[in-house]
Amino acid sequence: MTMNQQIAYRRVSTLEQRTDRQLSDTGIQFDFEFEDKCSGSTVTRPALEEMCRFVRKGDCVHVHSIDRLARNTRHLLELVESFQAKGVTLRFHKEGLEFGAELGSAGRFMLTMLGAVAEFERALIRERQKEGIEQAKQRGVYRGRPARDKTEIRKLLSEKIPVGEIARRLNCSTRTVQRVARESSTDITTP
């Protein structure tokens, strides 16, 4: 592996979203790219974890914005400190910030403030979304997710198919299968 590699990290919140707009206008030819498709609050991010193990001294990690990298301010500081300990530079393109091997107290303060602002923005978005859903419910135009047809789940449960397999086949959560089993007093088969 050569030194001074340019590494991209991208994250979107859902499988339907695309990452191609993140870092596309940088003009940088990335040596390696890591991508996660999961919510910002998700603790497990396989690509981020892999990238953290992969990076070496002299590498530069490029991220579109602070909120794409970390779950919260504490997580952001932990990541930055981990990169610094390895001698890795971290660059946030939207904010126009770069953090090298030495953060210093002013840099740490700025990073903490920006992380807190990103956290605050996420909280505001969730609050506005909740208010919007409540208003839509009052107008009678929001019905939530369509109810899942439980017939197929019950059928597969009666065939003693494991919960995980049913969830995979029907593209639903294991909790949904377990709830249907409880509601219909069906014994659950586990692998």
Classify residue 57 as exposed, middle or buried by CB count within 10 Å of its CB (0-12, 13-18, 19+): exposed
Architecture of domain 6-117: 3-Layer(aba) Sandwich (3.40)
Distance CA 113, CA 65 (A): 14
Write down the catalytic residue from 13, 41, 158, 173: 13
Tokens linked to 89: 């530079």
Q: Would you say 81 and 54 are in contact if contact means Cβ atoms under 8 Å apart?
A: no
* pLDDT tens sequence for the chain (191 residues): 456 899 999 998 877 777 777 888 888 999 999 998 877 667 788 999 999 999 999 999 999 988 888 878 888 888 888 998 899 999 999 888 888 867 677 777 887 888 788 788 878 888 888 888 888 888 988 877 777 778 889 999 999 899 888 888 888 888 889 999 888 876 665 55
Query: Active-site residue 82, yes or no?
Result: no
- The predicted structure's pLDDT at residue 1: 45
As a residue count, the chain comes to 191
Which residues, other chains included, contact 29 with Cβ-Cβ below 8 Å and sequence gap of 6+? 6
Distance CA 134, CA 140 (A): 10
- The predicted structure's pLDDT at residue 40: 67
pTM over 0.75: no
Task: Parse the chain into domains and list their residue ranges.
Answer: 6-117, 150-183
